[in-house]
Amino acid sequence: MTVKDDFTRFFTLYRHYSDKKVESVELKVSAEDVRQGEIYVTDLQLQEGNQATGEIPNTRDVLKLETFNIDEKQNAVSGGNVYQGDEPQVFTDKTKRFFNVMGRGFETIAIPNVFHEDYRKELLTTGLDLTLWPKDDYDFLRVSTFYGGTVEDDNKKTYTDETLSENPLNKRYTREFCFSGGNVGDEIKINASGQYASVNGNLVPLGVQRFDVGQESDYNGSYTVQYKNRQRFMALPVGATRIKIDFMKKEQQEDLIYMVNGGIGFHGLAEFTQWSWGASKF
């Protein structure tokens, strides 16, 4: 049986026509000094830039979905237990981990992608399915990774007013997913496993989006400030990953309108499956 380690990764750099989009790719494979045999080709990946970054393998071909058991009796005290409702149960062959999340305002949560039954098990990066319910109306929501920083180029900052240089929307992160304003009790979903996002069951557009996040003015008068973002789903590498959840409200000072931490409370659910290296279909 062919397994992952039997494959060889090849890299090459193309500098021609770097300003054009790729419409199609034609791959031709040739072999020399071979009498007979078989050639298997898996994935072809194109990346921008001159450095190869990590790849996400095709789960259907080379990965194994991990299962686990949940024994609710494991942490029960011995003897004399009185249960006022359902007694502890044992659930077997479960495939989805889940964690309750809650917070207020700008919150950072840590989600552990580890195999709790055996921490030595080698796992792979997986996608995060996140559901949130706010406890108040909000004007803007950004969910992101913890990795990023302040935008240094003044021309690329969201707000150019000097008094807003430290505004949270003048900081960018490696992965962000944003939502325009909504209401208390909205069901907000960012579903990496299904590759969709929704609010109250209504799908949210993917790709590059623009959001109205305030108002500034210059010598030509007032203008609407927009936050441009490429919507990216959240991923969980092995270990604990920090995810930022920022519910924002608008604030106004004369002609200046901008987003701030509105102290909005929320609760939610973080879910994900876990994968390890398996064998290919071949």
Domains of the chain in start order, with CATH, are 68-72+90-277 (2.60.120.860)
Which pLDDT value is given to residue 84?
A: 79
Q: What is the mean pLDDT of residues 236-245?
A: 93
Question: Cα–Cα distance between 224 and 218 in angstroms, integer?
Answer: 11
Read off the pLDDT band of 103 (50, 70, 90). Answer: very high
Q: Which residues pair with 198 in a beta bridge?
A: 189, 203
Q: What is the mean pLDDT of residues 61-81?
A: 78
Q: What is the mean pLDDT of residues 28-56?
A: 77
Amino acid at residue number 58: N
Which one, of 215, 134, 130, 224, lies nearest residue 181 by Cα?
Answer: 134
**Residue 88 falls in which region: left (phi positive, over 0), alpha (psi -120 to 50) or beta:** beta
- Residue 59 pLDDT exceeds 60: no
DSSP letters of 172-189? EESSEEEEEEE-TT--EE
Question: Cα–Cα distance between 47 and 77 in angstroms, integer?
Answer: 54
- Residue 209 pLDDT exceeds 90: yes
Question: Cα–Cα distance between 194 and 156 in angstroms, integer?
Answer: 32
- Residue 281 pLDDT exceeds 50: no
Q: What is the mean pLDDT of the chain?
A: 87
Q: What is the mean pLDDT of residues 33-38?
A: 84
Which pLDDT value is given to residue 132?
A: 97
- Residue 280 pLDDT exceeds 80: no
- Residue 57 pLDDT exceeds 60: no
- Residue 50 pLDDT exceeds 50: yes
